[in-house]
Structure 1
Amino acid sequence: MYRPDGIVQVVSETRERLLRAAGNVIHRDGVRALTLESVARAAGVSKGGLLYHFSNKRALIEAMAQARVAEVRVAMEHHHERNPGTGPMTSYVTSLDTAPDTHLDTALWAAAIEDPEAVTAFRQAFAEFQRTVRTSTADPTMATLVRLACDGLWLTELVGLDVLEPDERTSVMQRMLALAAESADHPVDEEVRR
């Protein structure tokens, strides 16, 4: 809701600052150091100010997951708006670069170890996207393979296991984009699909 006095924008800015602070606390001190007090202190707000936005630690982690899912969705939507002829897989692959992993990603994976239910937004987003893959691509199996490759690249980069040289990564991205386009464009024989 818009209010002319600017309160809504201030609330949003404070909320974003709290989410960034939570990610920073996890990065700096580990997931066990994530407390409402540590996040409020890192964000420069009172604990009451934090509680206005997040009633408990799980609500904070859930909001972090929702924020990251929203970043990827926005990146995909922007790609599709600029390239209306492309399918959802192409937008998904390009989100690796247009919504690159942030400190929020690694913080969330650390938090997921302690409280897997708090990152339900990730599970729901992946399930929703897989439903899209099944219903809006000509070759859902190929599209799923591309999605899994894309997720694998994201996760290896996220945890620092990536050993690709920049030109290798570029080649991998180009191949995933080509396969994504192929999965969207070429009908598959119904016998193969079953």
Structure 2
Amino acid sequence: MARPPLAREKVLDAYVALLHAEGERAATMDAVAQRAGVSKGGLLYHFPSKEALAEAVLARFDEITARDLAEMARAPEGPSRHFVRTSWVTEDSMDHTYNATLRLAQAGHAAAVEALEVVHEKWLDQIRGEVGDTGVAEAIMLIGEGLYHQAAMPGGWSRRTFARNLDQLLVLVDRLKEA
């Protein structure tokens, strides 16, 4: 499979970064071109509209989440522990693309809302497949979601608060799995 042109990736990276950091309104075509270091014509060559940019973000989101789901399925520790342990990770391509998709969803982009729903259902399905109980699976998923929220807080205060408790939370996940 041929790699997309470097300029196209730079533009998409710039759009994701703007969505992640500042939201959908700030991610104008001019701002994307400026951040990517390309002319507006160069941007329009690869992405003729904001909708085309959004579609590319969602395609990237699908690729990244497919890899994440595959890792989760084959994790030796099991999907539940894997989900909670990796929920702590922020500031990587998964985090930026997830947040860019979330920002699109918050702006009313229906395909972004659907993409988020689908990946959450798939994460939950893997956890439920391991634990066999929907309520327990949802509780485990909410532990991971809460960790993600805390890790994403500005200023790092929550990292100091919760980082030392990750191992304890994983023990709790094990106890929930046994319930």
Is this a same-fold pair by TM over 0.5? yes
The CA RMSD over aligned residues, in Å, is: 3.4
Structure 1 runs not aligned, ≥5 long: 2-7, 189-194
Q: Percent identity?
A: 27
Once residues 152 and 161 of structure 1 are traced to their aligned partners in structure 2, the CA distance between those partners, rounded to angstroms, is 17
TM-fit CA distance, 1:64: 2.5
Q: TM-score, normalised by structure 2?
A: 0.71
**Does 2:116 match 1:125?**
no
Q: How many residues align?
A: 176
Matches within 5 A, 1:1-194: 1=1, 8-9=2-3, 11=4, 13-26=6-19, 30-47=23-40, 49-51=42-44, 53-68=46-61, 70-71=63-64, 73-75=66-68, 77-78=70-71, 83-84=75-76, 86-98=77-89, 100=91, 102-119=95-112, 120-160=114-154, 163-164=157-158, 166=160, 168-171=162-165, 173-184=166-177, 186=178
Structure 2 runs not aligned, ≥5 long: none
Q: Residue deviations 1:143-164, cap 9 Å, x none?
A: 3212112112212433538743
Deviates more, 1:94-103 or 1:149-158: 94-103
Deviates more, 1:87-96 or 1:72-81: 72-81
TM-fit CA distance, 1:130: 1.7
Once residues 121 and 48 of structure 2 are traced to their aligned partners in structure 1, the CA distance between those partners, rounded to angstroms, is 27
Rate the CA distance shift 1:18–1:160 in 2: closer, same or farther, 3 A: same
Contact 2:88–2:148 (CA under 8 A) maintained in structure 1: no
The structure with the larger Rg is 1
